[in-house]
Amino acid sequence: MTTHPSGSHIKLHFRDSKGELIKTVEANEGDDILSIAHEHDIDLEGACEGSVACSTCHIILSPKHYDLLPEPEDDENDMLDMAFGLCETSRLGCQVKLTRELDDMTATLPAATRNMFVDGLSHPAGKKPTHH
Amino acid sequence: MGPLKLAIIGGGPSSFYVASRLLSLFPQNDTLTSPLKIHIYDRLWAPHGLVRYGVAPDHPEVKNCTHKFDQVAQDPRLHFFGNIQVGPQTPPVIPHALPISLSALKSHYTHLLFSTGCNIPTLHPTLPPSDRVIPALSLVQWYTQHPSRPPPPPLHKTEHVSVIGQGNVALDVARMLLTPPAILEKYDVPSPVLDVLHRSAVRHVSIIGRRGLLQAAFTTKELRELTTLEGTFMTPLAPEILAPLSPPAPSNAKLTRQQSRILQLLQKGSPGSPTATSELPHGIKTKSWSLDFFRSPTGLTADGQYLTLAHTMLDERARAVPTGVTSLLRTDLTVTSLGHHADPSAAYFDPALGHLRTDRGRVLDTAGHTLRRVYASGWAATGARGVLAATMIDAYAVADVILADHFSNGRGEVAKLESGAYSKEDALVADDVDMVSIPKEVEEGVKAGRVVQYDQWKKIDAEELRRGAEMGKERERMGWEEAHQFLTSMGAW
């Protein structure tokens, strides 16, 4: 068990829909998953910028961590109703704020968000997408 | 690898998401020699399509997506040209748009993307448009001050409104007609629209659908907004509408998560029930709305005062069939909200689909063969369904196909096509182009101050926000004449 410095970083793993690890990052208590993803160049979209008006930041959480979170509010559930590939442990990334007990959680990007028409398209220009 | 100079027809969210993905996957380099250029054309002078002209004014958060579009537009490899109508116009015509034929684009672009949406409302066969029947699109374009400028509805002499259709547009229309104007005032609702709403006499909106709750197309959020709308109540649903759906009736198909939540909302109804006098203190009359299931209109009476309705039930395949019972509904204005289709005069429109026919984003000709380097995204390709998330996912998928084709061989062709063959028709695009050229009609339009480019749009955007702030609201919109005049006064042409 690693002891954390007093900055109390919390470990979060991002995985793609096939279960491959994209990146493990460290973030602070109170940070939301969408902001963390953007800070670390993870391809998680947030069209409405965290105002619970879309479902583009839909992520699937590791079950034991999902259970530790408070229930989603009505407005988040209304958006989740329309998310592609909805699962039992789906949440909107913008609404999940990290706490110490969520250390080591995995957030998986849903399948439908990538490469619907082209399997295994690697970035032909040889560089990963940059965020606009 | 050859150049990729893409013309996108249509500048709504689909276009900007496709552009965003293409730009992010190409390294930027020197912009003059960059192998990627994107030019977006829109027949409206302002960009962003339905985000500006379709999203309801009381849903401002949805419009946050334009911040990303602004960033995309800052990429020097992208240009926006607004107020340009590519190809033939369909009603409603935008008289001030600069016309240009599709063939005029050909020699300037290696790739073409249609992101033209579905802008034609589907009408009801028994309810042709008249002064008493209007498509929901007219109302939406009225309250967003769309450049086609539909006239305001006569709300001052309208007490009862019948909306035919039970999707989210139907609920948006009901909500805009029933929300107290004092609440709407701070949003992006143009002043002339607020004036009409302040004088509105609307008391009840019937939202009519020919099938039942499980077939309704509205979603939970929009329903929730209506059930909790201040100063209004929902006519409680008849128990038999709700009863067959509640467990443990064995004949039900299993409800989806969304259907269960909608059912719960409808069982709860509106907080506060109607009083005997339907009046609140200060003489403010409460307004109401209802979901009228299993009713199919068969026309208006000759005096235009009643909707004739056939009562329906579901057959074994969940289709609406008449029961033989009919009734009359006294109504002042009928709004048809039955979906949209693409422009039938558009190139490669498929009448059977109501939009363009595509294979994974590649446009197909009438023989079903694939056009080289011609693509379609968004509602133009999928039909008029799906909110922003679906639009984004589709746009990224089409962008990926454009790139996969581009990198597969020197001419943007792939070996194996779902359609079986490439088209033998004349190409819509060229093999070799000048990377910075634009059609001369567009150049002339730019010089004549008839084409709005993105930096000019941003000046108008800032001015609309400034005027709105002065009035204590989110934004005060300008029409074309005002916007043109403003840009002239700023020397911005």
Smallest CA–CA separation between A94 and chain B, in Å? 14
The tally of domains found in chain B comes to 2
Residues B352 and B328 in one domain: no
Joined tokens for residue B259: 């259907």
- Tell me the backbone φ, ψ of residue B31, rounded to 5 degrees: -70, -25
Partners of B299 in beta bridges: B308
Residues B286 and B351 in one domain: no
In whole angstroms, give the CA distance from residue B475 to residue B217: 31
Annotated binding residue at B133?
A: no
pLDDT per residue over B38-50, tens digit each?
999 999 999 999 9
Tell me which chain B residues have a C-beta less than 8 angstroms from the C-beta of A123: 25
In whole angstroms, give the CA distance from residue B45 to residue B39: 15
What's the pLDDT band for A73 if we cut at 50, 70, 90?
Answer: very high
Give buried/exposed letters for B137-161 (b at 16+ CB in 10 A, else e): bbbbbbbbbbbbebeebebeebebb
Of the residues B280, B310, B338, the one at which a domain ends: B338
Would residue B488 count as lying in a domain? Answer: no
Tell me which chain B residues have a C-beta less than 8 angstroms from the C-beta of A74: 224
Chain A interface mutation, best of B187, B221, B403, highest count of A Cβ atoms under 10 Å: B221
pLDDT at B33 over 80: no
User: Is B221–A129 a contact, with Cβ atoms under 8 angstroms apart?
Assistant: no
Would residue B476 count as lying in a domain? Answer: no
Q: How far is CA A127 from CA B27, B41, B116, in A?
A: 7, 29, 31
In whole angstroms, give the CA distance from residue B28 to residue B76: 9
In whole angstroms, give the CA distance from residue B196 to residue B143: 10
Tell me which chain B residues have a C-beta less than 8 angstroms from the C-beta of A118: 360, 397, 400-401, 404
- Tell me the backbone φ, ψ of residue B232, rounded to 5 degrees: -130, 160
Joined tokens for residue B378: 């968004």
Residues B377 and B266 in one domain: no
The mean pLDDT of chain A is 85
Would residue B466 count as lying in a domain? Answer: no
User: Is A121–B220 a contact, with Cβ atoms under 8 angstroms apart?
Assistant: no
Would residue B487 count as lying in a domain? Answer: no
Annotated binding residue at B169?
A: yes
pLDDT at B93 over 60: yes
Smallest CA–CA separation between B252 and chain A, in Å? 20
Element spanning B232, H or E: strand B232-234
Residue B195: CATH number of its domain: 3.50.50.60
ipTM: 0.89
Joined tokens for residue B331: 């109504």
In whole angstroms, give the CA distance from residue B147 to residue B210: 33
Of the residues B338, B368, B391, the one at which a domain ends: B338
- Chain A CB within 8 Å of residue B416 CB: no
Is-contact A67 A35, C-beta < 8 A? no
The mean pLDDT of chain B is 92
Task: Count the neighbouring beta carbons within 10 Å of the beta carbon of residue B471.
Answer: 12
User: Is B59–A53 a contact, with Cβ atoms under 8 angstroms apart?
Assistant: yes
pLDDT per residue over B371-426, tens digit each?
999 999 999 999 999 999 999 999 999 999 999 999 887 778 888 888 889 999 98
Model pTM greater than 0.90?
yes
In whole angstroms, give the CA distance from residue A107 to residue A105: 7
Instruction: Give residue A26's pLDDT.
Output: 96
Task: Count the neighbouring beta carbons within 10 Å of the beta carbon of residue A111.
Answer: 14
In whole angstroms, give the CA distance from residue B118 to residue B256: 28
Q: From the centroid of its chain, how far is CA A42?
A: 9
Q: Which residues 6+ apart lie within 8 Å of A64 measured at CB?
A: none
Instruction: Give residue B413's pLDDT.
Output: 86
Tell me which chain B residues have a C-beta less than 8 angstroms from the C-beta of A121: 400, 403-404
Residues B252 and B182 in one domain: yes
User: Is A125–B25 a contact, with Cβ atoms under 8 angstroms apart?
Assistant: yes
Q: How many residues does chain B have?
A: 493
Would residue B373 count as lying in a domain? Answer: yes
Q: Which of B:234-273 have CB within 8 Å of A?
A: 257-258, 261
Would residue B323 count as lying in a domain? Answer: yes
Specify the CATH architecture of the domain A10-114.
Roll (3.10)
pLDDT at B104 over 80: yes
User: Is B387–A124 a contact, with Cβ atoms under 8 angstroms apart?
Assistant: no
Would residue B469 count as lying in a domain? Answer: no
What's the pLDDT band for A112 if we cut at 50, 70, 90?
Answer: low
Partners of B428 in beta bridges: none
Residues B275 and B407 in one domain: no
User: Is A81–B219 a contact, with Cβ atoms under 8 angstroms apart?
Assistant: yes
pLDDT per residue over B159-199, tens digit each?
999 999 999 999 999 999 999 999 999 999 999 999 999 99
- For B185-214, give the DSSP string: TTSS--HHHHHHHHT----EEEEE-SS-GG
Question: Pairing state of beta strands B358-359 and B362-364?
Answer: antiparallel
- Chain A CB within 8 Å of residue B393 CB: yes
Tell me which chain B residues have a C-beta less than 8 angstroms from the C-beta of A75: 221
- Name the packing angle between helices B257-268 and B220-227 (round to 10°): 10
Instruction: Give residue B243's pLDDT.
Output: 72
- Name the packing angle between helices B136-143 and B168-178 (round to 10°): 50
Domain boundaries, chain A: 10-114
Instruction: Give residue B269's pLDDT.
Output: 80
Range of the domain at B70: 4-119+341-452
Determine the longest span between alpha carbons in chain A, in angstroms: 46
Is-contact B396 A45, C-beta < 8 A? no
- Chain B CB within 8 Å of residue A85 CB: no
Conformation bin of residue B119: beta by default, left when phi > 0, alpha when psi is -120 to 50: alpha
- Identify residue B413 by its one-letter amino acid code: E
Smallest CA–CA separation between A127 and chain B, in Å? 7
Tell me which chain B residues have a C-beta less than 8 angstroms from the C-beta of A129: 21, 24-25
- Chain A CB within 8 Å of residue B191 CB: no
- Chain A CB within 8 Å of residue B292 CB: no
Residue B382: CATH number of its domain: 3.40.50.720
